[in-house]
Amino acid sequence: MRLRRRHSGDPGPVPDLPAAVSGATVLLGGTAVLRGVDLDVRAGEVLGLVGPNGAGKSTLLAALSGDQAADEGRVSLWGRPVGEWSTVDIARRRAVLPQAHRVSFPFTVRDVVEMGRAPWAGTARRDADDRRIAAALALTEAEPFAQRPFTSLSGGEQARVMLARVVAQDAGLVLLDEPTAALDLRHQEMVGRLCRSLAAEGRAVVIVLHDLDLAAAYCDRTAVLAEGRIVACGPPADVFTADRLTEVYRQPVKVDLDPDTGSPRVTPLRGVPNPGRRSGLLDISHG
Amino acid sequence: MTAAAPPQAASQRPAPAPARIRRPAVPAILAVVLIGLLALGVLVSASNGAFAIPLGDIVASIAHKLGLGGAPVEGTGEGVLWNIRFPRVVLGLLVGACLACAGTLMQGMFGNPLAEPGIIGVSSGAAVGAVAAIAFGLTFAGNWTISLCAFIAGLATVSVVYLMSRSGGRTEVVTLVLTGVAVNGLAGALIGLFIFYADNDEITAITFWQMGSLSQATWPKILAVLPLAAVGLMTAPRYARRLDLLSLGERSARHLGVDVERLRLHLIVIVALLTGAAVAVSGVIGFIGLVVPHLLRMAAGPGHRALLPLSTMGGAAVIVWADLAARTVAAPAEIPLGILTALVGSPFFFWLLRRTRRHQGGWA
């Protein structure tokens, strides 16, 4: 048994199962966005959430972060229902990178990253502030603009700074919602490597991704979501089959193995007609 | 394990970085400058007027009161200084500090640099309470009645504006300004209604008060608003860190351990305390809460730990000098202070609006 300090203070080492979802159903405006989802989030592992738009990936992440209460089922962090944690105690355990990045006032990049250290104010880990901030800036390659106002940066730079803030928070559970959306090729790979190093430190990383190749290359397990359910969950090599992805995305794909790494590569088939029903809307001959 | 890249945390992590290059210099210098301006303003303001009192006599008189030697001002000067000039200056300091501090807090809580007690209608809301107290001759709390009514009405107004102007944890400029238009409109109508039912003496009292002037300053008036102002000014800095985090948006602030609901509630009460205190004695003096925090943010950066105390001092200094101008520029007549601040503040508001629209998303 690991020692678990439930109230304030240092959260201690990350347990084997920092987060678990069982039978979670979330209704938004009467529609079930998640339907009975079960998911274990394991320490030392990068877990990818993939699936088409509206599949419930962000909602699942919001349920894990405590932003969205489950209407049915149970979400627990560190073995305790997510709703029972105080905001500070939970902030010392999980960090969240949201999709949108906005800062109301022209704080410098370093100020923004330093905000990630807020949960540790008044604790022993406070001494690590400067070291963690410097490391986070270095890992996300945000050092060159550390003294610039956040509001003056490009979208991709802002995304990296927010990622640095999440890294600086030093949480055992790291939840990332599309961290690569605004990033160039090099920095997408950087995010992948960053996730691996966070997992290697014993943290659990949950990452929402649209790029299936990136998911295949860097995730230990991927959960494929469709219409609020987890269709499959496991190592990408097992989960990413051409049939499954074709069905889930309603887009024919082929899957082969990268000769260098052995991880699956997903390529949309562009020469074949889309199996989806023809709506006639784009058929200009009707016009 | 399908990972392509080996973990490289250990190799990439740099050695402990050299201590951060902090720049305490700018806020510190600003603080010194503002205190200097404030002290000079107090002395010059106390010295100038229909009855000129030399600066040296003022210093001697203060020293005398403090039991540090010196001597009282000769003749009627001592009475003018301590019963007319100083109450006015002190009241100005209080009002300016309250308004600028309230403006800074509101900009932080709305995540929007255009939030200000006057613009979004909190001042007018508080004014409704004060006018009601005068028009109905309320005295249930003695000397504190007007302040208390202004605070309660201000509290109701901030709450309404806050609830109505937010969506998705933020307040868009357009929503905020339009909410202000609506609230100011309603408050104006209510004040008009109270004046309609008031008798002549009450109307005179309301009119004097409404012009936003410090000319009615007396020590009892200062005592009447001091509790509200002191509680507000002293608690505000405790929220500086959380206000910084709030600039990331409510969700991210919560992710970093801020109890956003509680913070919101506390800030609403503090803003109402500060605005209520200022409005109860001086009517609606606009734009101080807009201009002062904004200029100081440009100079000292957006961090609230420096910005809140600097704005508080800055607001006090600006009001003291503005009031001096208001009563000397057109002497022996006196321009109402609220009109003077609006003359200077409105163009600034225009400029800010245009600028904000240009850099949508990058408030600065």
What residues of chain A lie within 8 A of the CB of B24, using their CB? none
What residues of chain A lie within 8 A of the CB of B20, using their CB? 110, 130, 133
Name the amino acid, one letter, at A220.
Answer: D
Q: Which residue has the higher pLDDT, B340 or B6?
A: B340
Output the pLDDT for position A287.
Answer: 40
Q: Does A219 touch chain B (CB under 8 A)?
A: yes
How far apart are the C-alpha atoms of B112 and B169, rounded to whole Å? 12
Alpha-carbon radius of gyration of chain A: 20
Do residue A116 and residue B256 have CB atoms under 8 angstroms apart?
A: yes
**A10 burial class (0-12, 13-18, 19+ CB within 10 angstroms)?**
exposed
Helix (H, G, I), strand (E, B) or coil at A232: strand
How far apart are the C-alpha atoms of A249 and A234, rounded to whole Å? 18
Half-sphere exposure of B7 toward its Cβ, with a 13 Å CA cutoff? Answer: 16
Using alpha carbons, list the distances in angstroms from residue B357 to A101, B28, B174: 19, 32, 10
Helix (H, G, I), strand (E, B) or coil at A19: strand
pLDDT > 80? residue A129: yes
Q: Which two tokens stand for residue B128?
A: 């409704």
Of the candidates B332, B319, B335, the one whose C-alpha atom is nearest the C-alpha of residue B49 is B332
pLDDT > 60? residue B211: yes
How far apart are the C-alpha atoms of A231 and A99, rounded to whole Å? 24
User: Kind of pairing, strands A173-177 and A264-268?
Assistant: unpaired
How far apart are the C-alpha atoms of B146 and B130, rounded to whole Å? 5
Q: Stretch A174-190: mean pLDDT, rounded? A: 94
Output the pLDDT for position B353.
Answer: 78
Q: Does B143 touch chain A (CB under 8 A)?
A: no
| Neighbour tally for A198: CB within 10 Å | 25
Q: Stretch A213-227: mean pLDDT, rounded? A: 95
Confidence of residue A272 (pLDDT cuts 50, 70, 90): low
What H or E segment, with its residue span, contains residue A177? strand A173-177
Output the pLDDT for position B19.
Answer: 42
pLDDT > 90? residue B76: no
**B15 burial class (0-12, 13-18, 19+ CB within 10 angstroms)?**
exposed
Question: Between B55-65 and B25-47, two packed helices, what is the crossing angle to 10 degrees?
Answer: 100
Q: Which of A7-16, A93-102, A215-224 has the highest mean pLDDT?
A: A215-224
Contact indicator for B165, B268 with CB cutoff of 8 Å? no
Nearest to A192 among B5, B19, B170 (CB): B5
pLDDT > 90? residue A137: yes
For B60-72, the pLDDT digits (tens) are: 999 988 888 888 8
Quote the mean pLDDT of chain A.
Answer: 90
ipTM (interface pTM) = 0.89
Separation in Å, CA of B214 to nearest CA in chain A:
33
Helix (H, G, I), strand (E, B) or coil at A254: strand
How far apart are the C-alpha atoms of A125 and B198, rounded to whole Å? 63
How far apart are the C-alpha atoms of A76 and A73, rounded to whole Å? 10
User: Kind of pairing, strands A72-77 and A19-28?
Assistant: antiparallel
How far apart are the C-alpha atoms of B242 and B236, rounded to whole Å? 11
Separation in Å, CA of B260 to nearest CA in chain A:
9
The count of CB pairs under 8 A between chains A and B is 140
Q: Does A201 touch chain B (CB under 8 A)?
A: yes
Q: Which two tokens stand for residue A226?
A: 């469709």
Q: Does B262 touch chain A (CB under 8 A)?
A: no
Q: Which two tokens stand for residue A287?
A: 């016009």
For B15-38, the pLDDT digits (tens) are: 444 444 455 688 899 999 999 999
How far apart are the C-alpha atoms of B320 and B42, rounded to whole Å? 7
Residues composing chain B: 364
Within 8 A by CB and 6+ apart from A140, the residues are A160, A161, A163, A164, A167, A190, A194
What residues of chain A lie within 8 A of the CB of B249, using their CB? 98, 100, 102, 104
State phi, psi for A33 to the nearest 5 degrees. Answer: -90, -30
What residues of chain B lie within 8 A of the CB of A121, using their CB? 241
Query: Which domains does chain B show, CATH number per domain?
Result: 82-355 (1.10.3470.10)
For B282-321, the pLDDT digits (tens) are: 888 888 999 999 999 988 999 999 999 999 999 999 999 9
Percent of chain B whose predicted confidence (pLDDT) is above 70 = 89
Question: Between B145-165 and B260-282, two packed helices, what is the crossing angle to 10 degrees?
Answer: 140
Nearest to A201 among B9, B244, B248 (CB): B9
Nearest to B2 among A193, A197, A217 (CB): A217
State phi, psi for B328 to the nearest 5 degrees. Answer: -115, -30
Within 8 A by CB and 6+ apart from A213, the residues are A263, A265, A266
Q: Stretch B240-253: mean pLDDT, rounded? A: 93
State phi, psi for A263 to the nearest 5 degrees. Answer: -90, 155
Q: Using CA atoms of B125, B126, B129, B132 in order, give the dihedral in degrees to the nearest 10.
A: -80
Do residue B13 and residue A196 have CB atoms under 8 angstroms apart?
A: no
Q: Does B303 touch chain A (CB under 8 A)?
A: yes
Query: Which domains does chain A show, CATH number per domain?
Result: 12-93+172-186+201-270 (3.40.50.300), 104-170 (no CATH)
Contact indicator for A94, A20 with CB cutoff of 8 Å? no
For B233-246, the pLDDT digits (tens) are: 999 999 999 999 99
Using alpha carbons, list the distances in angstroms from residue A228 to A58, A205, A247: 11, 21, 15
Do residue A220 and residue B12 have CB atoms under 8 angstroms apart?
A: no
For A22-61, the pLDDT digits (tens) are: 999 999 988 999 999 999 999 999 999 999 999 999 999 9
Question: Between B173-197 and B145-165, two packed helices, what is the crossing angle to 10 degrees?
Answer: 150
Do residue B252 and residue A98 have CB atoms under 8 angstroms apart?
A: yes
Q: Does B251 touch chain A (CB under 8 A)?
A: yes
Q: Which two tokens stand for residue B143?
A: 């000397």
How far apart are the C-alpha atoms of B159 and B213, rounded to whole Å? 27
Give the single-character DSSP code of A148: S
Contact indicator for A257, A263 with CB cutoff of 8 Å? yes
Probe site for chain A from B23, B171, B239, B256 (most A CB atoms < 10 A): B256
Q: Which residue has the tokens 């055992």?
A: A172
Nearest to B2 among A100, A118, A235 (CB): A235
Q: Does B244 touch chain A (CB under 8 A)?
A: yes
Do residue A220 and residue B113 have CB atoms under 8 angstroms apart?
A: no
Do residue A192 and residue B4 have CB atoms under 8 angstroms apart?
A: yes
How far apart are the C-alpha atoms of B186 and A258, rounded to whole Å? 68
Of the candidates B47, B364, B2, the one whose C-alpha atom is nearest the C-alpha of residue A263 is B2
Helix (H, G, I), strand (E, B) or coil at A229: strand
Q: Which residues pair with A255 in a beta bridge?
A: A266
State phi, psi for A257 to the nearest 5 degrees. Answer: -105, 135
Q: Stretch B331-348: mean pLDDT, rounded? A: 85
Output the pLDDT for position A2.
Answer: 42
Output the pLDDT for position B6.
Answer: 41
For B134-175, the pLDDT digits (tens) are: 888 888 878 788 888 988 998 899 888 888 877 666 667 678
What residues of chain B lie within 8 A of the CB of A216, using their CB? 2
Output the pLDDT for position B330.
Answer: 83
